[in-house]
Amino acid sequence: MERKGKPKTPRYLAVGRIISPHGIRGEVEVDVHTDFPQRFQPGARFLVGERKSEMTVESVRPYRKRLLIKFREIPDRTRADVWRGAWIHIPVEEAWPLEEDEYYEYQILGLDVWSDEGEYLGQVDHIIYTGANDVYVIRGPEGEILLPAIKDVILDVDLEKGRMTVHLLPGLVETTRRS
């Protein structure tokens, strides 16, 4: 009952989102959505908003748990306000390489999930970020299963086949299956 779970590679990856203007000189408060916040440095270029407008970082500084970024293309607060809520992207080809057994979200979403006993469980629907470890939400014929993304559970990820093999710890499915 394989469902061709091989995820499609997107053209762009979101690495941040503009939350609001900050001050009067065009700085914007950015919520970072990448494990590599150092990519936001002066001279770095990004594609911003639905139209993917190219913007270059002029300056960046930490602010609370976010970053304050001044883009060359945003001269003042009025222009900054236009970008409120806009996503900041990079072309997928510019994604930084990950360590072994690490994956970008787009690579995991949509994978077919099979138990190590050969039972089809469903597809990865979305990911819950808990801080300690990610939790993969699997939607399948029996409902929803929550699987912690830990080595004892996730045995293999085969991106070419679009397949994830997992070991169901005792009691895991019974306690997490939801209709």
Q: pLDDT per residue over 7-30, tens digit each?
A: 778 999 999 999 999 999 999 999
pLDDT attached to residue 6: 66
Euclidean distance between CA atoms 108 and 130, whole angstroms: 17
Asked whether the domain spanning 105-176 has the same topology as the one spanning 12-94, the reply is no
What CATH superfamily classification does 12-94 receive? RimM (2.40.30.60)
Cα separation of 108 and 38, whole Å?
A: 24
* Phi, psi angle pair for 13, to nearest 5°: -120, 135
pLDDT, position 171:
78
Residue at token pair 């001044």:
70
Q: Is 177 exposed, middle or buried (0-12, 13-18, 19+ CB in 10 A)?
A: middle
Residues of the chain with pLDDT under 50: 1
Instruction: Please report the pLDDT score of residue 1 as a whole number.
Output: 47
Spatial CB neighbours of 171, under 8 Å, sequence gap ≥ 6: none
Tell me, what's the pLDDT at 176?
59
Per-residue model confidence as pLDDT tens digits over 116-140 = 999 999 999 999 999 889 999 999 9
Q: How far apart are the first and last CA of the chain?
A: 20
The structure's pTM equals: 0.80
Q: In what order do the strands lie in the sheet with 112-115?
A: 143-148, 134-140, 120-129, 112-115, 163-166, 154-158
Query: Looking at residue 178, what is its pLDDT?
Result: 53
Helices H / strands E in the chain, number of each: 3, 12
The residues spanned by each domain of the chain are 12-94, 105-176
Q: Tell me how far apart the alpha carbons of residues 67 and 126 are, in angstroms, rounded to a whole number.
A: 26
CATH number of 105-176: 2.30.30.240
Instruction: Report the distance separating Cα 154 and Cα 80, nearest Å.
Output: 43
The residue with tokens 């080809």 is: 93
What lies within 8 Å, CB to CB, of 96 at 6+ separation is 36, 39
**Cβ contact 39:15 at 8 Å:** yes
